[in-house]
A and B are shown apart, each in its own frame.
Chain A
Amino acid sequence: MSTSPLLDVRDLSVSYAARGGETRAVNGVSFAVHAGETVALVGESGCGKSSIAYALMRVMAPGATIGAGSRITFEGHDLVALDERRMRDLRGRRLSMIFQEPASALNPVMRVGDQVAEVARLHGERSRHAAWDRAVTMLDRTGIDRARERAFSYPHELSGGMRQRVLIAMALLMRPALVIADEPTSALDVTVQAQILDLLRDLQRETGMAVLLITHDFGVVAELCSRAMVMRDGRIVEDAPADDIFHAPAHAYTKELLGAVPRLASDR
Chain B
Amino acid sequence: MTDDRGPRTVNAGTGAAALVSVRNLTHVYPSRRALFGPTGAPRRAVNDVSFDIRRGETLALVGESGSGKTTTGRAILRLIEPTSGTVTFDGTDVLALDREPLRKLRRRMQVVFQDPQSSLDPRMRVGRTVREGIEAHEIAEGADADRRVARALEEVGLHSSDAAKLPHEFSGGQRQRIAIARALAVEPEFVVLDEAVSALDVTVQAQVLALLTQLQRDRGLTYLFIAHNLAVVERIATRVAVMYVGRVVELADAATLYASPQHGYTKALLSAVPVPDPRVRKQRISWDGK
Contact = CB atoms under 8 A, between A and B. Distances in A.
Nearest to A197: B274
Nearest to B34: A156
A246 B274 CA distance: 14
Nearest to A153: B37
Given A44-B202, A190-B269, A191-B269, A246 B278 contact: yes
Contacts of A261: 202, 276
Given A243-B278, A260-B206, A216 B201 contact: yes
Interface stretch (A69-77, A89-97, A116-124, A217-225): A217-225
B245 interface: no
Contacts, number: 107
Interface string A235-266: 00000001100110000000011101111111
Interface string A173-190: 000000000000000011
Given A194-B284, A218-B276, A264 B268 contact: no
A99 to B, nearest CB: 19
Query: Chain B interface residue count: which class?
Result: 35 or more
Contact of A190 (B35, B258, B273, B276): B273
Interface string B15-47: 000000000000000000011110000000000
Contact of A267 (B65, B259, B268, B280): B280
Nearest to B270: A264
A264 to B, nearest CB: 5
Which residue, of B34, B231, B274, has the highest number of chain A Cβ atoms within 10 A?
A: B274
Interface string B250-290: 00000000110000000011111111111110101001000
A201 B65 CA distance: 25
A262 B202 contact: yes
A45 B276 contact: no
A160 B276 CA distance: 24
Interface string A144-186: 0000000000101100100000000000000000000000000
B205 interface: yes
Contacts of B268: 191
A265 B270 CA distance: 11
B259 A257 contact: no
Interface of B: 34-37, 64-65, 172, 201-203, 205-206, 228-232, 234-235, 258-259, 268-280, 282, 284, 287
Interface of A: 44-45, 108, 154, 156-157, 160, 189-194, 197-198, 216-223, 225-226, 242-243, 246-247, 256-258, 260-267
16 contacts: A44-B202, A45-B172, A45-B201, A154-B36, A156-B35, A197-B274, A218-B276, A219-B275, A220-B274, A260-B206, A261-B202, A262-B205, A262-B206, A262-B235, A266-B270, A267-B276
